[in-house]
Amino acid sequence: MPEPRHQIVIVGGGAGGLELATHLGKSVGRRGLADIQLIDMSRTHIWKPLLHEVAAGTMDPSEDELEYLAQARWRHFRFRLGRMVGLDREARQVHLAPVLNDRGEEVIAARSFHYDTLVIAVGSVSNDFGIPGVKQHCLFLDTTDQAVRFQQRLLDAMLHAHTQGGPSRPGELGVAIVGGGATGVELAAQLRHVTRLLSQFGLDEIDPERHIQLHVIEASEQILPALPPELAAAARRELERIGCKVHTGERVVEVSADAIHTASGNTIPAAIKVWAAGIKAPEVCGELAGLEVNRINQLVVDRRLRTSDPNIFALGDCAACPLDDSSDWLVPPRAQAAHQQASLLYRTLRRRLVGKDPLIYSYRDYGSLVALGRYSTVGSLMGNLTGSMMVSGFIARLVYLSLYKMHQAALYGWPRAMLFSLVHLLRRHVDPEIKLH
């Protein structure tokens, strides 16, 4: 009897997990050195940093999403649809919940998969910090469905206000974004652009500047805390120039149906409220047969991305990985970290197949860039020779776009990634610039 093949199971096909499955499939999967299985609760993948564009309607998710089943076929791994709900570390099994359709009928029964090596890459969700009213009244941008829901809420609100000759009460077309990090700031700028465009598509009873109030609410004294103060101040000026109200030093204490309430006693009226103020790992990470988690539920890993179980690794947003050996700092939850960790784990898992030790991960910060819709891009780049360098305008925009290109290249290879760019360009000449339904 031939030896059964080593089973590598990756749970979560996001920025990190899908790149890892693709690299492993292309090499060890194709050559039959191990079986690679990718589990995800969604049928398609979209790169999460694009979700604010989906929410604003400047990106139609159906044009940019990747079908897991197709990728699995092309890249020699198996795709399993389902949500991980638990683990049996003794029997080395991952348990998945049944998959239901939109009528609540069972499509796939609950099932379990055996692993020899398990990689958990389930990402993160928004953290509401237990603040009253957030869950009930805020929208989140954790999944494509949520982003699409936001886009439709905004469009519906504008259609409604238009047919009644303009908004009938304060805040009816107000959008409040809680969290002045990259997500909140990018969303605000993109929304200003989109609401201006929408009013040109026949919704002319609405004056975007006068009727649509956009608020960004941030607890600290500076928006974009990851950027140097000069750049954060430039981004703030730009937001204010395009008519967004920026509230810094305002800690949200409650959210009600029509407004955001802050600790200073401020009430900001807004019918649509988005929560983008911090992350935590999904609930399931705390329910994985005793694997250690931190206070935001991330799986504790060492610098080799190992959990306390030597057969289980974790990467990306769901992993609490030390930045170095001498401080308590953790690797930040960012797409570039997930990308780097996927590349490292690819090499580690190949070594593991021949009995070698896992490699040590060192985070390389290439800087942060924030796109202010069509208006501007600002950020800082880090290089070995240049150190930290502030950039803005066209160069910053190019580098910003290149991050997504690199993700596409990791999944499809450079020729197809460039073909996607061409298709995108051609579509811009035949489709409206924004989604109108």
Ligand X SMILES: Cc1cc2nc3c(=O)[nH]c(=O)nc-3n(C[C@H](O)[C@H](O)[C@H](O)COP(=O)(O)OP(=O)(O)OC[C@H]3O[C@@H](n4cnc5c(N)ncnc54)[C@H](O)[C@@H]3O)c2cc1C
Structure tokens at 25: 């499939």
The closest residue (CB) to ligand X is 14
- The nearest distance, CB 266 to ligand X, in angstroms, is 25
Residue 329 exposed, middle or buried by CB count within 10 Å (0-12, 13-18, 19+): exposed
Beta bridge partners of 61: none
11 binds ligand X (CB under 6 A): yes
- Which residue stretch of 210-218, 335-343, 359-367, 412-420 sits at the interface with ligand X (rule: CB under 6 A)? 335-343
Binding mask 247-286 for ligand X (x = CB under 6 A): -----------------------------------x-x--
Measured from the CB atom, the residue of 87 and 158 that comes closer to ligand X is 87
334 binds ligand X (CB under 6 A): yes
- Which residue stretch of 7-15, 104-112, 194-202, 203-211 sits at the interface with ligand X (rule: CB under 6 A)? 7-15
141 binds ligand X (CB under 6 A): yes
b/e code 384-409 from CB counts within 10 Å (16+ = b): eeeeeeebbeeebbebbeebbebbbb
Quick one: DSSP state of residue 359?
P
Measured from the CB atom, the residue of 182 and 291 that comes closer to ligand X is 182
Structure tokens at 96: 């998945």
Residues 246 and 236: beta-carbon distance below 8 Å: yes
In this chain, which of 335, 344, 345, 434 binds ligand X, going by CB under 6 A? 335
175 binds ligand X (CB under 6 A): no
- The nearest distance, CB 42 to ligand X, in angstroms, is 4
Give dist(CA 94, CA 117) in Å, integer: 11
123 binds ligand X (CB under 6 A): yes
- The nearest distance, CB 336 to ligand X, in angstroms, is 5
DSSP 209-274: HHH--EEEE-SSSSSSTTS-HHHHHHHHHHHHHTTEEEE-S--EEEE-SSEEEETTS-EEE-SEEE
84 binds ligand X (CB under 6 A): yes
195 binds ligand X (CB under 6 A): no
Measured from the CB atom, the residue of 164 and 402 that comes closer to ligand X is 402
94 binds ligand X (CB under 6 A): no
Query: 17-24 and 68-75 helices cross at what angle (nearest 10)?
Result: 30
Measured from the CB atom, the residue of 123 and 373 that comes closer to ligand X is 123
User: E-strand spans in 248-364?
Assistant: 252-255, 259-262, 267-269, 272-275, 279-280, 299-300, 312-314, 319-320
In this chain, which of 336, 340, 377, 380 binds ligand X, going by CB under 6 A? 336
- The nearest distance, CB 273 to ligand X, in angstroms, is 16
Number of residues that bind ligand X (CB under 6 A): 34
Binding mask 42-71 for ligand X (x = CB under 6 A): x--x--xx-xx-------------------
66 closest CA partner among 428, 418, 408, 339: 408
* H or E segment and range at residue 339: helix 335-353
Give dist(CA 220, CA 198) in Å, integer: 33
Residues 375 and 189: beta-carbon distance below 8 Å: yes
Q: Which residues bind ligand X (CB under 6 A)?
A: 11-17, 39-42, 45, 48-49, 51-52, 83-84, 121-123, 141, 182-183, 282, 284, 316-318, 333-336, 338
